[in-house]
């Protein structure tokens, strides 16, 4: 696809974007146990359980389920009533998902000789396995998936690269960004970004978002998104940056503007350079929170003691 047909900005350094996200994810991410396995059965169980259930609650249920039925053959041989009873006792909701999971296990046993199919299309043939779940299993078990496009990913793409709110355009943008042959790490990473740093109320700096220097929303302060119809009241606001200035100055005796600026925002410079920071400091000085004055070595700021 040419830049003219691309869903992404024409001047975007895609390799830099990919590298930044993968390194951020590999450096530190939430350690869910299903992220430590490439077993398709274990991943399928986690994906089915995670539908409309908070991930923190899924961990205990997932581990208990696998203790009870460690392999797809064990689940296929189980009594369906026992599987449904387990689902109910762990408050996983929608008992039909337990029934479908049990039937899918029997399909793998009977139709695939106990070995999971590896492509999204084939996995979609399993009972209760829709396109999203099929792609997740293909990605995380076999590194053979397409770029995932869920609500979190749409939010990230819309904010970071101003991708229009159109499902077909989101799919194009997601596919353009994903590195070839790396669906496992990429889909985990971009979903982690949406779940940790770029939620409905983003935590860009606090979470060390790796896309801040590329991000349209971070540059403009407009964090609206398809599932966030109004601007979050705090992230990116002047009030937030005032709070950061006070926190940073609390750690140092005094700092010059150029020492303080990068500690307050990652894109310090240009429109958000010295004049912008000076304005914040003057406001805080007027409020009696900081001392700010020009000295022989330039303007310096310190927390008012």
| Positive/negative CA dihedral, 285, 288, 294, 295 | negative
User: 193 vs 11, 47, 79, 256, CA distance in Å?
Assistant: 22, 18, 39, 33
| Residue the block writes with tokens 């996983």 | 92
How far is Cα 133 from Cα 47, in angstroms, rounded to an integer? 6
Which pair of tokens denotes residue 100? 């479908």
How far is Cα 152 from Cα 18, in angstroms, rounded to an integer? 17
Closest CA to 38 of 192, 184, 150: 184
How far is Cα 239 from Cα 142, in angstroms, rounded to an integer? 46
User: Choosing from 5, 42, 47, 293, which is the catalytic residue?
Assistant: 47
How far is Cα 251 from Cα 259, in angstroms, rounded to an integer? 13
User: 78 vs 85, 101, 104, CA distance in Å?
Assistant: 12, 11, 12
Asked if residue 70 lies in contact with residue 77, where contact means CB atoms within 8 angstroms, the answer is: no
- Identify whether 60 is a catalytic site residue: no
Closest CA to 59 of 36, 79, 40: 36
User: Looking at the annotation, which residues are catalytic?
Assistant: 47
């Amino acid at each position: 696809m040419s830049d003219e047909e691309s869903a992404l900005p024409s001047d975007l350094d895609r390799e830099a974007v990919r590298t930044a996200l993968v390194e951020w994810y590999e450096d530190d991410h939430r350690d869910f146990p299903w992220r430590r396995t490439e077993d398709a059965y274990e991943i399928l169980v986690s994906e089915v359980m995670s539908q409309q259930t908070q991930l923190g609650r899924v961990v205990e249920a997932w581990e208990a389920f696998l203790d009870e039925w460690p392999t797809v053959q064990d689940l296929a041989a189980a009594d369906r009533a026992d599987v449904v009873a387990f689902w109910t006792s762990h408050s996983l909701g929608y008992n039909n998902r337990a029934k479908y999971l049990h039937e899918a296990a029997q399909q793998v046993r009977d139709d695939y000789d106990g070995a999971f199919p590896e492509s999204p299309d084939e996995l979609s043939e399993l009972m209760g396995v829709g396109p999203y779940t099929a792609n997740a299993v293909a990605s995380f078990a076999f590194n053979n998936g397409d770029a995932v496009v869920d609500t979190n990913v749409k939010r990230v793409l819309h904010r970071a690269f101003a991708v229009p709110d159109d499902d077909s355009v989101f799919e194009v943008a997601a596919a353009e960004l994903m590195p070839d042959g790396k669906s496992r790490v990429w889909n985990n990473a971009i979903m982690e970004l949406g779940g940790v740093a770029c939620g409905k109320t983003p935590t860009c700096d606090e979470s060390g978002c790796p896309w801040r220097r590329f991000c349209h929303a971070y540059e403009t302060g407009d964090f609206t998104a398809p599932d966030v119809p109004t601007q979050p009241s705090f992230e990116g606001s002047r009030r937030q940056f005032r709070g950061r200035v006070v926190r940073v100055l609390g750690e140092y005796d005094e700092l010059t503007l150029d020492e303080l600026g990068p500690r307050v925002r990652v894109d310090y410079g240009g429109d958000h350079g010295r004049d912008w920071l000076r304005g914040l400091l003057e406001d805080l000085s007027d409020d009696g929170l900081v001392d700010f004055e020009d000295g022989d070595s330039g303007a310096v700021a310190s927390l008012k003691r």
